[in-house]
Structure 1
Amino acid sequence: MSDKKVLTTNNGAPIADNQNSRTAGPQGPILIDDFQLIEKLAHFNRENIPERRVHAKGSGAHGTFTVTNDISKYSYASLFANVGKQTPIFARFSLVGGERGSSDTARDPRGFSVKFYTDQGNWDIVGNNTPVFFIRDPLKFPDFIHTQKRDPKTNLKDPQMMWDFWSLSPESLHQVTILFSDRGIPDGYRHMHGYGSHTYSLINKDGVRTWVKWHFRTEQGIKNIHPKKATEIAGTNPDSAQEDLFKAIEQGDYPKWRVYIQVMTEEQADNHPENPFDVTKVWSQKQFPLIEVGVMELNRNPENYFAEVEQSAFEPSNIVPGTGLSPDKMLQGRIFAYADAHRYRIGTNYQQLPINAPKCPVHNYQRDGAMRFYTPDNAPNYEPNSIDSAPKQQPQYAEPPMHVPAGTMDRHDHRVDGDYYSQPRALFNLMQSEQKQLLINNIIGSMKNVNHDIQIRQLKHFYKVHPDYGTGIAKGLGIDIDLIKN
């Protein structure tokens, strides 16, 4: 018997001729009974699944997470059980607003998501390369993303939409300042930090909850691309970040990130002057210093991009015992939105795909649906039941009650605090003079064709952050400074 692989149909039957369709005579019409032709054409029509509504273009790789510091006083999660413990991971990096064909050098936040295949289930951190976000209420998320996509009439990207929304949403100032700074265009994915961005929680064996912020700090060093160079790369190698990550791993130059947490007790949160669950703001690292947890290393490229990167599904609702969520409004919205996006885009059984499937046993009462291929043998599909061998709930894994501020259930205005300026001001003051000028030039380039009234509205916000910030942009746009001082 030959060692050559036999070409087959999807049902495994050998194919005798893959060059010619079945026809009625040499020049006759094609016959509908050519199931091989029908199968190839029908499958080809369905080879693309809908692209992600956000984070459409991305790159991914497999690797490991290794514990380097004991954090058992904060969490009893098995992946943190002891120093040296290693957990397999899959990480995906992405552009937030662009389509799958976007350039990797676009000015855009980068998604930074990690799936930990722990021995008690999959745990996902779904974050970005920035510690904050543009909005703090998920009700505004579809509106915001619409401004980052294409105008429904022209089908063009439109700075007018972006700045109109941002100028009416001053909570965006912190993220806007980061986006238009030198860190707005990272040099590939290896040279940027990652953040969980939201406030999450950890729970220890005594049932004590601690609020945490996750930080992934690149061991390769921060590198960014100047806008002019980014434009050149976009025209010559729009997949530069994908190529850089793949080649580095292929050559054994495995990228690493050192993983840290900031921690805040529930009592500290209750007395914190700012809302600790506001994703538009950071926690002071002087007050809440970084605590090392471990090291993430990427050391294996996907064998098939579609199967492992395009079909990978991350969701903040994937938590494991010893980890938890928080009252962060944006996080609460994403808990629903991400899993629902996967159900639409990939199918209701997306968690059974190899890239998403847990490495530990799965037992539940979900059944059927498109592409279902795993169902426990001889098991009921209802619960409670009286069958001893059927899966049962385990009360010892219950989370402690989560304290939330008392108050009325209503649509509370999330813009009542008024402090949109102190944290962007602190960031602006940290910048070197050349960084400030680059930030100002980048914003001028983006705002130059925006309506005058929107320019004035946004410039007033920049001026409140810092007079030099607003004045520098106003001069570049040819706008009288006196118009933005009040």
Structure 2
Amino acid sequence: MKDDKKTDKPLKRQETEKTQQLAEHTADSTGELMNTNHGVRINDDQNSLKAGERGSSLLEDFILREKITHFDHERIPERVVHARGSGAHGVFKAYKSMSGVTRAHFLSDESLETPVFVRFSTVAGSRGSTDLARDVRGFAVKFYTQEGNFDLVGNNMPVFFIQDAIKFPDLVHAVKPEPDNEMPQAASAHDTFWDFISLMPESAHMIMWLMSDRAIPRSYRMMEGFGVHTFRFVNAEGVSNFVKFHWKPLLGVHSVAWDEAQNISGKDPDYHRRDLWDAIESGNFPEWELGVQIVPEEDEFKFDFDLLDSTKIIPEELVPVQRIGKLTLNRNPDNFFAETEQSAFHIGHVVPGIDFTNDPLLQGRLFSYTDTQLIRLGGPNFQEIPINRPIVPVHNNQRDGYMRQTINRGKSSYNPNSLGNGYPLQAKASEGGFTSYPERIDAKKIRARSRSFFDHFSQAQLFYNSQSDPERNHMIDAFSFELGKVQSVEVRQRMLGILSLVDKGLAAAVAFALRIPVPQDPELPVNHSIPADGNLADYDPFTVDTALKASAALSMANTVKDTIKTRKIAFLAADGVDEKSLTTVKAALEGAGAIVEIISPRLNFILSEGDEQIPVNHSLLTAASVFYDAVYVPGGTNSVATIEAEADAVHFLNEAFKHCKAIAADLGAAQVLEATYFSKKIPSEFSDQTVLREGIVVGEDPKKLADQLILAISQHRFWEREKPRKVPA
């Protein structure tokens, strides 16, 4: 395809091309007759062919054999990691041309909309595990560009556990269920994981992220994404810049409480999947901005860390994130298996203008991704599966193999050739051909780690120092919980030694919970990931003193808090509700983009004081506070009396308070709040438009109350009430 045709094509057409391409492989059985895989119509799909009505089944029953054989083989091996996922289609559009730093076409023309497919996932658990495990989340984006597919395969954390890909099998073996008993599922709180971590200080930074609230996001729509590795941008003149990729959610970065996550896992293990699906179906399309940190080649060594070390970030105070485009997810898959499960991402799928660096973790992943798809999706033709096909035609000399779908014409499948007039021809760089950046390499062949990779604790300290007090408390609780599940006292003590190198206060707090002392000196050598004949002194650095002691970008307390769009609010109401108290607040919340659901002791509808029917979304039997971001109790004498008498409703409020959510009540419903346990911990005399501290609002004027409630919900959580005001719920 000529370059002028590529560049003139608007992105809307690209999106249409991808949709049409998938539509060619989409089947709708409405109004159709049943038939076999080879097209023969089936007269009876309910009974196998037998020798008499009570006789044995016959081998000649090709309909039975085809149906059972397909069933036996309709599950493919699940991914070794990132097995549990959820996906969606969308578009990406650049805000401005980035042609000065990259010749990647989809980043160089702001008029284009590039179709994308995004898959979110948890890492450690199997396909049947819960969405709310404490875990890293995958954030993989497939751009269907006019120059081929670009896969930005990332996570919701910007760093990783290890520096070299050769350690990846060890990491995964350690975090997966233990091989003797296949327990625990989707959890890192067990001996083998912490044994590995305590011997691998390069994991110190990542483990701080994993024990933070980042590991239990409120929603896929409310978490950041990162490319993890340092890549290269290369422009048309061949000039290279280093680049880090970021995804910034427009709804802000928010989490759930750990206790809340455990409750959700029991009540709805598909919570994140359902949240993403429902948001898209309702037209509340999730949005992220693509950000980049760009470092000129000549500045590669100006930092006190190594750009190629995947256990390190570039603090945003040192290199600000430029927001260069927006990703919008606007369509759910038609078939989970065919699209989400068969989607295959590969870090090596890059386009001209984007190239690799010598990050040793990145280099190993370049091999691993293709290798794993070969076995998972049945062979080398996995890129011919519709969800993986690029929108541009593919012309190469690759042939045959399992499940080959392309019917290639012509005699020649090699290059050079004369029988096919030399086609397909190699593309010049000016015609969009990919050329690798000509990095100068002059080194000995060696198995070793650069000394610039030896600092394992300074950025772990930076992360911990940057957290708010509630976030630090959550990290202390997380370490205490996880290490409390570890049976080996030796592993616990060694891990406390590692934590003491990050922050002595953190180590002391965790040690207090475990009732074991912090080692006066960490076990030496700290780093056990060394060659057998290595110099131990070189592999046991402690801390690099850095000028930057904290980074605002690392705390979720500093995220966007100016919207309640897509937040779910529960209204607890019953027959006799004050219609004005309910409908005025409901209209205001929905006008601000929130989703309101009526919860009542019984389903179907409730009657207002004026005998108006109001639909009920859920009963107290099936609803739970953990599914909502805030709670409101409208007025109405009979409704208030009913809700106050319902133990499940009082528990609903107690639990919402425990999980630090905004709570509001009409002044006429104040007695419901007084029936809760947490009323003992707040002032009990309510007056018109009382705004109690820590996110509790009571008022007589529904409009004013709604304004205050919107402000409270936009703060997301009131974590300050968590420690001193715990309630049994």
TM-score, scaled to structure 1: 0.97
Whole-angstrom CA distance in 1 between matches of 2:231 and 2:401: 32
Relative contact order higher in (CA < 8 Å, ≥ 6 apart) = 1
Given candidates 492, 502, 516, the residue that maps to 1:465 is 502
- Structure 1 residues 415 and 226 mapped into 2: Cα distance closer, same or farther (>3 Å)? farther
Q: 2:518 corresponds to which letter in structure 1?
A: I
The equivalent residue for 1:440 is: 476
1:78-93 to structure 2, matched below 5 A, reads: 78-93=105-120
Aligned-partner Cα distance in 1 for 2:389–2:517: 59
Q: Take 1:408 and 1:5, find their aligned partners in 2: how far apart are those partners?
A: 66
Tell me: CA distance 1:277–1:416, structure 2 relative to 1, closer, same or farther (3 Å).
Answer: closer
- 2:384 counterpart residue number: 352
Which residue, out of 305, 316, 319, partners 1:285?
316
Aligned counterparts of 1:401 and 1:82: Cα–Cα separation in 2: 22
Percent identical pairs in the alignment equals 40
Greater Cα offset, 178-187 or 360-369: 178-187
Alignment partners' CA distance in 1, 2:303 and 2:57 = 73
Give, in whole Å, the separation in 2 of the partners of 1:231 and 1:444: 16
Q: Deviations over 1:90-148 (max 9, x none)?
A: 00000011100110000000000000000110000001000000001111100100111
Is the aligned partner of 1:380 residue 2:412? yes
Looking at structure 1, the residues matched to 48 and 375 of structure 2 have their Cα atoms a distance apart, in angstroms, of 35
**Higher-Rg member (1/2):** 2
- Cα distance in structure 1, aligned partners of 2:112 and 2:158: 27
Q: Write the letter of the residue equivalent to 2:414.
A: Y
2: CA distance, partners of 1:77 / 1:482: 52
Q: Helix, strand or coil: the match of 2:120?
A: strand
2:173 to 131, 138, 146: 146
Q: Where does 1:67-146 land on structure 2 (aligned, <5 Å)? A: 67-146=94-173
Shift of 1:407: 2.9
Q: Tell whether the 8 Å contact from 1:119 to 1:359 is kept in structure 2 after alignment.
A: yes
Distance 1:183 1:4 in 2: 48
Q: 1-side partners of 2:66 and 2:521: how far apart? A: 64
Deviations 1:265-301 (A, max 9, x none): 2211144432101110001212211112100000000
Which letter maps to 1:60? G
Contact 2:305–2:452, Cα closer than 8 Å, also in 1: no
CA deviation vs aligned residue, 1:304-355 (integer Å, no higher than 9, x gap): 0000000000001101111111111111111110111111100220000100
Answer yes or no: is the 8 Å Cα contact 1:137–1:414 preserved in 2: no
Q: Is the 8 A contact 1:104 1:188 kept in 2?
A: no
- 1:60, 1:309 within 8 Å by CA — same for their partners in 2? yes
1:24 aligns to 2:79 (yes or no): no
Partner of 1:264: 295
> Given that residues 456 and 483 in structure 1 are in contact (C-alpha distance below 8 angstroms), is that contact kept between their aligned partners in structure 2?
no
- Corresponding residue of 2:516: 479
The secondary structure found in structure 1 opposite 2:222 is coil
Aligned-pair CA distance for 1:482: 5.2
Give 2:196's aligned residue. 165
Report if aligned partners of 1:207, 1:399 keep a CA contact under 8 Å in 2: no
State the superposition RMSD in angstroms: 1.6
**Residues 63-94 of structure 1, C-alpha deviations (whole Å, 9 max, x = no match):** 00001022111111111222232100000000
Among 426, 451, 465, the alignment partner of 1:393 is 426
Q: Which runs of 5+ in 1 are unaligned?
A: none
Choose which of 316, 322, 326 in structure 2 pairs with 1:295: 326
Runs of 4+ that moved beyond 6 A: none
2:458 maps to 422
What's the offset of the Cα at 1:416?
7.1
Instruction: State how many pairs are aligned.
Output: 484
Deviation track 1:434-483 (CA, whole Å, cap 9, x = no partner) reads 21111011111110142122112111111111111111111111122354
Q: Which residue of 2 aligns with 1:431?
A: 467
Q: What SS does the aligned partner of 1:246 have?
A: helix
What is the TM-score normalised by the length of structure 2? 0.65
CA shift in 2, pair 1:270/1:380, >3 Å: farther
Choose 415-424 or 470-479, whichever is displaced more: 415-424
CA distance, structure 2, for counterparts of residue 260 and residue 383 of structure 1: 40
Return 5+ residue gaps in structure 2 as ranges.
1-29, 524-729
1:367 alignment counterpart: 399
SS in structure 2 opposite 1:299?
strand
- Residue 408 (structure 1) aligned to one of 444, 448, 451: 444
Aligned match of 1:319 in 344, 350, 359? 350
